[in-house]
Amino acid sequence: MRPFLAACFLLGFSAFCAAQSADWSYQGHTGPLVWGKLDPAYADCSRGHEQSPVDLRGAHLNRALQPIQFHYIGGPVTLENTGRGIVARVDPGSYIVANGVRYNLLRFEFHHPSEHAVKGRLTDMEVDLIHQSEHGRIAIVAVRLNEDRGFPNAVLAMLWQHLPTSAGGSAKVEDMIDPGGFLPADRGYWTYTGSEVTPPCSEGVAWFVFENDISISRDQLRAFADLFRMNTRPLQDLHGRRIEADE
C-alpha cells in the first residue's frame, strides 16, 4: 500500500485524506460503479481482481486454520459520522492473533445492509472490525447483524445513545465499550483475501467473516437505517479466489 494511502487507512480517511482525494458516495454519479474513475488512487476499485465484498458460498474446509484469538479490552470510543457511515475509533490495546499474526484493532464501522452475502442473502447490517499488523497488513473481522424484535445488542445500546446524526459530527463515548460484545458465541469463520470495501479499495486484506450472525433490535436497526438508507458496496467477482472455512 502506498505511504499516503497507508496513512489514510490508519486514520480511517480523515478530513485531511478526503481533501487530498476525490469525493465518492454510495449512489449516483460518484457511486460504486464509477469509483475507479474518480481518482487514479482508486484504480483498484475497477481494475482489481481481489475486491470485496463477496458472496460467500462453496467454502473449502481447511483444518489447518486456527481459531482467531481475541484480546479485546473495554474502553472509551469516539463515534464519527462521516456522511457515509458511522465509524468508532478505539484506544490502543485491543488486538487479535490470526494465523500467527498479531493485528491491532484500529476502529470498527457499520454498514446497512451487510457488505457480505451468504449464498446470495444479505443480513440487515454488518460491523467490520478493522485491524493492522506492525508491518501494515490489514485484517478485517466481519460480523453480520440481523434484526430480532426482542434481542437488542448491549454494545449498540451504549453506542446509539451518542449516535452523531449530522455528517461531520462526532461524540466521545466514555463508557467501557468492549468490541467483544459483537462476537457470536460460535466463532467459526470463513476467510479469503480481498480488499477494503471503500475507496481506494486497496487489496491484500485478510477477511474473516463469522458464519453466525448476532441479533440487534428493530429500534437499533431503524436508528442506523434512518441515517443511512444504504451504505454498502455491490458484491464483487471472486475471480477464482478460494473461500476457506475453519470448521
Q: Dump pLDDT digits (tens) for 87-127.
A: 999 999 999 999 999 999 999 999 999 999 999 999 999 99
Residue 12 has pLDDT above 60, yes or no: no
Residue 13 has pLDDT above 90, yes or no: no
**Residue 16, phi then psi, degrees to nearest 5:** -60, -45
Residue 4 has pLDDT above 70, yes or no: no
Where are the extended beta strands (E) located within 168-247? Answer: 170-177, 189-195, 203-210, 214-216, 244-245
Q: What's residue 247's pLDDT?
A: 79
Q: Where do the domains of the chain lie?
A: 50-245
Class of domain 50-245: alpha beta
Average pLDDT score over residue span 201-211: 98
Express as a percent the part of the chain with pLDDT over 70: 92
CA nearest neighbour of 5 among 167, 170, 204: 204
- Lowest model confidence (mean pLDDT) among 40-49, 60-69, 148-157: 148-157
* Cα distance between residue 104 and residue 180, in whole Å: 14
Q: What's the chain's average pLDDT?
A: 93
Where are the extended beta strands (E) located within 4-90? Answer: 55-56, 60-61, 69-71, 75-81, 86-90
Q: What's residue 11's pLDDT?
A: 52
- pTM reported for the whole predicted model: 0.92
Q: What's residue 121's pLDDT?
A: 98
CA nearest neighbour of 90 among 110, 72, 74, 107: 107
Q: Which residues contact 235 (CB under 8 A, 6 or more apart)?
A: 53, 54, 55, 117
* Cα distance between residue 101 and residue 191, in whole Å: 15
Residue 8 has pLDDT above 70, yes or no: no
CA nearest neighbour of 222 among 135, 169, 145: 145
Residue 176 has pLDDT above 50, yes or no: yes
* Cα distance between residue 21 and residue 45, in whole Å: 14
Q: How confident is the model at residue 10 (pLDDT cuts 50, 70, 90)?
A: low
More confidently predicted of 146 and 1: 146
Residue 65 has pLDDT above 80, yes or no: yes
Q: What's residue 64's pLDDT?
A: 93
Average pLDDT score over residue span 134-146: 98
Average pLDDT score over residue span 172-200: 97
Q: What's residue 16's pLDDT?
A: 41
